Chains A and B, each alone.
Chain A
Amino acid sequence: MLRILVDRLLTTLPALAGVVVVCFLLTRVLPGDTAAYFAGPAATPQAIEQIRKELGLDRPVPEQFGRYVTELARGDLGQSLTTGQPVLADLKSRLPASAELTLFGLVLALVVALPLGILAAVKQGSLADHLCRIVATAGVSLPVFFTGLLLVYLFYFVLGWSPAPLGRLDSFASAPPTLTGFYLLDSLAAGEVETFRSALAQIALPGLTLAIFALAPIARITRASMLAVLGADFVRTARAAGLSGRKVVITYAFRNAVLPVVTTLGMVFSFLLGANVLVEKVFAWPGVGSYAVEALIASDYAPVQGFVLAMAILYIVLNLLIDLAYGLIDPRVGSAAA
């Protein structure tokens, strides 16, 4: 197991290197004068020249790359012009909000999509099957920001069930003592029921928005891979050996069908991290996505680049976890014959 872990860690290195190179390129290919971009729209020529020196833009490209990597290694992602803080500090303080939202949405999606997909495959042509098809096709067609707005209109404006779509807590509540940075967990840990309720009310709609978005691919792949596995020879063997329906569906079929689902989670995470940006904008969620969007609008590029890099690294880590999970489920991984 340790060997597999080390192997997997090594396989992420090329991806990591690729990400760093691409991010470096993105900082250098800014059309026109990069220094002017970084200096902001109101900078004087002297200030721009100053920044050019500071950024080392007058140096040859390999040297610039070396410097870029050194700075990265030190955790230096530059300064945000809008907040005046180092980008890394900003990202750190805002990441828990985004992570909580994304995970909440994902868990919600999994809880609905997995049973739905299984049911649709086991009872082909049933109500669940039709529902699954509709969800799968309609879900991928819904622009996530549009879903969010519809939910806001319905639950906030029309029904009044939900608080205003502004942030993680309503204005009267104060943040729970930081433990994980996830308000839902921290408030429970501190025993602040009121705060928990407020946080839950706030996260419900954006979380639901993300869940609706992630539901479609998960339900679709669950149904498809369940169908494939149910048609496999070994399921026929299990049936012919008289195993009960439950045993066949869960132990034999689903455990195999879950493998493609786990693989698909990588893609779902890719979508979710992107959709997060849009959802955070709609719900004024104080996460890294809305931070990047605000910076983008202010032509403040260091935060945007820091955000892209941070998301890429986060995504690589998530994929690593998915790979490891896959290895735990599938004995064929990591053996020479596989």
Chain B
Amino acid sequence: MTTPALLDIRDLTVEFATRRGTVQAVRSVDLAVAKGQTVGIVGESGSGKSVTSYAVMRILDRAGRIADGSVHFSGIDLRAARERQMRDLRGREISMIFQNPRAALNPIRTVGRQIEDVLREHAQAGSGDARRKAIEALEQVRIARAAERYDAYPFELSGGMCQRIVIALALACRPQLLIADEPTTGLDVTTQKAVMDLVRDLTRERGMATILITHDLGLAAAYCDAVTVMEKGRVVETASAEAIFQRPAHPYTRTLMRATPRPGIGLRDLLPEGSAAPMPPSPDPREILLTVRGLSKVYPAKGGGRLFGRRRDPAGEFRAVDDLSFSVLRGESVGLVGESGCGKSTTSSMVMRLLDASAGSIVFKKVELADVPARDFARHPLRPKIQMVFQDPTDSLNPRWTAARAIADPILRFRTVSGAAAIRSRCEELARQVGLPLDLLDRFPHQLSGGQKARVGIARAIAPGPDLVILDEPTAALDVSVQAVVLNLLADLKRELGMSYLFVSHDLHVVRLLCDRVIVMKGGRIVEEGTAADVLERPEAAYTRELIAAIPHPPARSAA
């Protein structure tokens, strides 16, 4: 790079003082950002990507300190700068936007006032024109009726709108560098696209430099000029976005890149090369296992409904799921896809018999289940046959039970095996099936990693020998490399045990990898249904097309 760097980080090391001694969260990191350039920092949790940016802003919490290295911004030594000088830089020269936009705004101050605070602090506005300038800032992030929004409190706005406000706040003083720390995590994919496009357009317009911190390699590749990959506090590779995808040099980058779900690949392609046997072809499903007809869930109107801009009839009731019909064949995987609030989780809870339906029928193995109240279903003979893998592996394990106890619970309740020794050996068999090392069986959840907890949850779900397993975003809380392994495990288990899956997810790519058929939901209804390949490659409904278009498209790999 010939232009002098706007931000120049050399050999940066950040330490945290913890109870177990000093931990180096960032080690000898080098990073340069040129004027107008967009640089992505990509890494999984614990890679030190956020800490690096906090160190640049000098907003590390009190336990953390910059131990070594230098940070220069426009020639100013940020490590040596006085706090007063830093305060002038923050917000005016370097700005930052954060994950979870709603929490990033002061809940009891109107959004307009919050923008005004920043403008006034940096003497960009006086008492006379602050309001006007704040409204201008809102207009620039394309907020309609900005003058009205000025008086809104964050809780009155949607997550995507809050993120626009945060962006307005960050860009109000026209800084030269914007640091975006996981700016779209937790937002729906269509909102993510809108927010990212806005950031890209605004920063381009103003010739600003941007650092995009994300766990999503696809997102970084779609929006960045250069990408820096971090692992365990170190930079493992820096290259142009195109090069990272087409010629990843470092083995970690290759693993990460391969693990990122993308069009045109199979499940096995997610795993490191040559590490798994090829996937045998799926058996051809024939027999119907589950039939859902006219399923609805209606909640009586009472506050809260305003949160969902959803169809409500004059009586004010809220139809979370509206007249839904579909079926699942034996040995088949069906994906239930949609954005938050589309009713996919409500649907799975009803099929799971944790929630009573308002109307409709659920026929499972030729038995009508909708008549059995959810609270009595625990003792129903078909209870063991429908099981579930939960979204958050931590939350789904009783903190006071060991892994073995958690896996044994269904065995004990359904009395599939009896006798302590037999139960133990069954637990070990299950642990082997899900690839959980046997010596971890006696550990408590807090002593296990996220991936290990996910395996315990899967072992528990398959323990009673279910015919249908509902997977509720089973990998949403996991890093991509772990996700790749877990998805493959699920596919293998399905084939081995002849189960069917109902896979609930917001991520079309992940669904396509695991599922034979896909159902796209919106507003409690099905908008499209078909084979995974058809829905993804030849979507018919406009909404499906919008969803697919919103997924960040990394530069395609020519060879794949």
Q: Is A330 an interface residue (CB 8 A)?
A: yes
Determine if A336 and B105 form an interchain contact, defined as CB atoms under 8 angstroms apart.
no
Q: Which of A207-251 contact B (CB under 8 A)?
A: 231-234, 236-245, 247, 251
Give the shortest distance, in Å, between B286 (CB) and chain A (any CB). 49
Determine if A236 and B98 form an interchain contact, defined as CB atoms under 8 angstroms apart.
yes
- Contact A241 to B170, CB < 8 A, known contacts A124-B62, A232-B103, A236-B59: yes
Q: Is A332 an interface residue (CB 8 A)?
A: yes
Q: Is B435 an interface residue (CB 8 A)?
A: no
Residue-wise interface mask of B (193-229) relative to A, using a CB-CB cutoff of 8 A (1 in contact, 0 not): 0000000000000000000000000000000000000
Determine if B87 and A255 form an interchain contact, defined as CB atoms under 8 angstroms apart.
no
Q: Which of A297-336 contact B (CB under 8 A)?
A: 329-332, 335-336
- Contact A240 to B156, CB < 8 A, known contacts A234-B103, A247-B121, A337-B304: no
Give the distance in Å from the alpha carbon of A10 to the alpha carbon of B92 in the complex. Answer: 49
Q: Is B118 an interface residue (CB 8 A)?
A: yes
Q: A232, A241, A259 — which one has the most chain B CB atoms within 10 A of its CB?
A: A241
Determine if B106 and A252 form an interchain contact, defined as CB atoms under 8 angstroms apart.
yes
Q: Is A256 an interface residue (CB 8 A)?
A: yes
Q: Of B117, B156, B304, B306, which one neighbours A243 at CB under 8 angstroms?
A: B117
* Identity of the chain B residue whose Cβ is nearest the Cβ of A338 in the assembled complex: B155
Q: Of A124, A237, A329, A330, which one neighbours B104 at CB under 8 angstroms?
A: A237
Q: Which residues of B contact A331 (CB under 8 A)?
A: 108, 153, 155
Q: Is B342 an interface residue (CB 8 A)?
A: no
Give the distance in Å from the alpha carbon of A288 to the alpha carbon of B348 in the complex. Answer: 61
- Contact A242 to B121, CB < 8 A, known contacts A237-B105, A329-B108: yes
Determine if A236 and B104 form an interchain contact, defined as CB atoms under 8 angstroms apart.
yes
Q: Is B546 an interface residue (CB 8 A)?
A: no
Determine if B106 and A256 form an interchain contact, defined as CB atoms under 8 angstroms apart.
yes
Give the distance in Å from the alpha carbon of A183 to the alpha carbon of B105 in the complex. Answer: 47
Give the shortest distance, in Å, between A270 (CB) and chain B (any CB). 26
Q: Is B350 an interface residue (CB 8 A)?
A: no
Q: Is B303 an interface residue (CB 8 A)?
A: yes
Q: Which of A250-280 contact B (CB under 8 A)?
A: 251-252, 255-256, 259
Determine if A238 and B106 form an interchain contact, defined as CB atoms under 8 angstroms apart.
yes
Give the distance in Å from the alpha carbon of A170 to the alpha carbon of B98 in the complex. Answer: 63
Q: Which residues of A contact B304 (CB under 8 A)?
A: 336-337
Determine if B117 and A251 form an interchain contact, defined as CB atoms under 8 angstroms apart.
yes
Determine if A256 and B98 form an interchain contact, defined as CB atoms under 8 angstroms apart.
no
Give the distance in Å from the alpha carbon of A289 to the alpha carbon of B133 in the complex. Answer: 58
Q: Which residues of A contact B385 (CB under 8 A)?
A: none
Q: Which residues of A contact B121 (CB under 8 A)?
A: 241-244, 247
Give the distance in Å from the alpha carbon of A284 to the alpha carbon of B109 in the complex. Answer: 48
Q: Which residues of A contact B57 (CB under 8 A)?
A: 240
Determine if A337 and B155 form an interchain contact, defined as CB atoms under 8 angstroms apart.
yes
Give the shortest distance, in Å, between B546 (CB) and chain A (any CB). 27
Q: Which residues of A contact B59 (CB under 8 A)?
A: 236, 239-240
Give the shortest distance, in Å, between A245 (CB) and chain B (any CB). 8
Determine if B103 and A233 form an interchain contact, defined as CB atoms under 8 angstroms apart.
yes
Give 18 A-B pairs besides A240-B98, A335-B156 with Cβ atoms closer than 8 angstroms: A234-B107, A239-B90, A240-B170, A241-B90, A241-B95, A241-B96, A241-B117, A241-B121, A241-B169, A242-B86, A242-B122, A244-B121, A245-B87, A255-B109, A256-B108, A332-B107, A336-B306, A338-B155
- Top 8 A-B pairs ranked by shortest CB distance? A242-B91, A242-B90, A241-B91, A233-B103, A240-B96, A237-B104, A336-B303, A241-B118
Could you give 19 example pairs across A and B, Cβ below 8 Å? A124-B62, A234-B105, A234-B107, A240-B59, A240-B90, A241-B90, A241-B96, A241-B118, A241-B121, A242-B90, A243-B87, A243-B117, A244-B121, A331-B108, A331-B153, A331-B155, A332-B107, A337-B304, A337-B307
